[in-house]
Amino acid sequence: MRGIIGIKSRREIQLLKGPGVYCSAVIKGQETQAEFGCYDIKIQPHLQINTEVDVEWDEKPGKPFNDQPTTQRTIRQLYIDGKPVIEKQQGKGFGGGYKDSPETRASIEAQTAVNAVVDLLEAKVITLDHSLAQKAIAWLDARIPASAPKQPESKPASSELGQLFRKACVAAGYKVGTPEGIAEVKAWMKKAGKTEMKFDELSPEKQGDLINMMKAQELPK
């Protein structure tokens, strides 16, 4: 899919698969915010808060939340003045390749291999003491600067934010343990939070905003 998105929030992360950027953005022509992930280092610098960018992304089903389907969006291309940041090279047969140097291709191949090892670890086919896992870790250690900023430890994890939001909902009078209560919270998020996404799909910044908004509605004791 391709469209103009207005970026509202951005956070950088360091995954085993490499650096990534998560953005919360509004797709032009829509009112609700959507979450986007980007793992291409050529595109990431262009994804800045309060800017509109012309991007191309893939969509696939995400992890279900409260037995409801979610959507995972991954940015694959970005256009500046109609020109792609990543130039595709026409080739013979099906599809084409990218105009990358031998060094870049070697790096991409190495990243692909590391991704495959990560998939094996996640599927519990191998463990961290396996030789492949050790090689992947060594490869990542060599490419992550020692001075790379760490994620602030003071920030709550997404699960902790979810618990805080649940407590705020209860304090505001919502019966979140019932289908009716959950439906009321969803309606509130759509109206007050201007999002139809599940809470755990949102960026930490957006989650924090919703928690504060819900706390403001706390019933007097």
Phi and psi dihedrals of 179, rounded to 5?
A: -60, -35
Question: What number is the average pLDDT over the span 91-105?
Answer: 51
pLDDT-derived band at 93, boundaries 50, 70, 90: very low
Convert the pLDDT of each residue in 209-218 to its tens digit: 888 888 888 8
- Name 22's Cβ contacts closer than 8 Å, sequence gap at least 6: 10, 11, 13, 35, 36, 37, 38, 203
Query: Tell me, what's the pLDDT at 91?
Result: 46
pLDDT in the model for residue 97 = 47
The pTM is what?
A: 0.43
Q: What is the pLDDT of residue 125?
A: 75
Report whether pLDDT(181) > 70. Answer: yes
The pLDDT tens digits for 51-76 are 999 999 999 888 777 778 888 899 99
Query: Over the stretch 129-178, which tens digit does the pLDDT of each residue have?
Result: 888 888 888 877 777 655 445 555 555 555 788 888 899 889 888 888 88
- Three-state SS for the chain is CEEEEEEEEEEEEEECCEEEEEEEEEECCCCCEEEEEECCCCCHHHCCCCCEEEEEEEEEECCCECCECCEEEEEEEEEECCEECCCEEECCCCCEEECCCHHHHHHHHHHHHHHHHHHHHHCCCCCCCCHHHHHHHHHHHHHCCCCCCCCCCCCCCHHHHHHHHHHHHHHCCCCCCCHHHHHHHHHHHHHCCCCCCCHHHCCHHHHHHHHHHHHCCCCCC
